[in-house]
Amino acid sequence: MWLLISNITVVVFGITILLLVWLRRRSAIKRLRQLADEAETSRQQIIIEQNRNRQIKQEMTNNIAHELKTPVASIRGYLEILLSGRPIDPNRRQYFLDRCYQQTLRLSSLINDVSLINKLEESSDLFPIEPVDLYLVANEAVNELSDRAEADRVLVFNNLPSDVIVQGNKGLLYAIFRNLIENAISYAGQDIRVVMECYKSDADHYYLHFYDTGCGVASEYLPKLFDRFLRIDSGRSRKMGGTGLGLSIVKHAVLFHGGDIYANNRPDGGLEFFFSIKTDNRN
């Protein structure tokens, strides 16, 4: 009797061991399949991201090539006239030289803006971090653009408090304010006000408000406002010498500083930007 019980116990124990081994093996196979699925999903996501980055770079390359055609063609046309050997009125000669110079400035701005965006996307760790007074940086941008603002009767008010200090990159923070102010001067119209203010702060971020009292933009353009080479009015933007990259640089610079940015049309007229800047960007 005891021998039978012992034999049954051994059989049950053996079956139990086999069942545990089978369950563990099944679990291991299931886990392996899960890992394989996760690996395949990751691989697909990497491929999608690579294709997206490739498409973005291709689009940017095409856009750059398109933007280069106009100034290069203009310079070539003016130089061909100047080098033709035909008699040219001195005033007209000077006009051609001035136009060539303006187009070279446009080319230089385009190259600098493209280089800055590429550096932000691919080598952001190369930007040094230091204490920066946002009021002083904004004031520097205001002073730099004061002649253009005065010519279009644009009043710029820097209402940022003097104690807004962040650990950030001075050049990129300057680029934020300069591009926003320049965009307002170029496209918002004449006899307007431009205002910068800090409406809120916490332990991690300062929250800034930038707005103008001008014409605003059509609502369909708001979601695309930070796209590269956006042309709301291509003729006017070229006339103003814009590269179409200013607001894209603003967004990249804000993201670099741990913030976010969005734009709205103001109920009272004009365009406004709300954006945040992280207080300490050393980590």
In a domain, 227, yes or no: yes
In a domain, 147, yes or no: yes
Q: Which domain holds residue 144?
A: 130-278
Q: What is the pLDDT of residue 234?
A: 41
pLDDT at 137: 95
Cα(120)–Cα(132) distance, integer angstroms: 19
Q: Is residue 239 part of a domain?
A: yes
Residue 35 counted as domain residue: no
The residue assigned the tokens 């291509």 is 234
d(CA 163, CA 135): 8
Q: Per the domain annotation, does 119 fall within a domain?
A: no
Taking only the tens place, the pLDDT of each residue in 112-162 is 888 888 888 887 788 899 999 999 999 999 999 999 999 999 999 999 998
| Residue 73, in any domain of the structure | no
Is 31 inside any structural domain?
no
Residue 19's pLDDT is 64
| Positions of the chain with pLDDT lower than 50, given as ranges | 2-4, 234-239
pTM, 2 dp: 0.72
* CATH code for the domain of 175: 3.30.565.10
Segment 11-23, tens digit of pLDDT: 556 666 766 666 6
Instruction: Evaluate whether residue 106 is within a structural domain.
Output: no
- SS3 state at 276: strand
Q: What is the pLDDT of residue 74?
A: 85
- As for how many domains the chain has, the answer is 1
Say what the alpha-carbon torsion angle 166, 171, 173, 177 is, to the nearest 10 degrees: 140
Tokens of 32: 């392996």
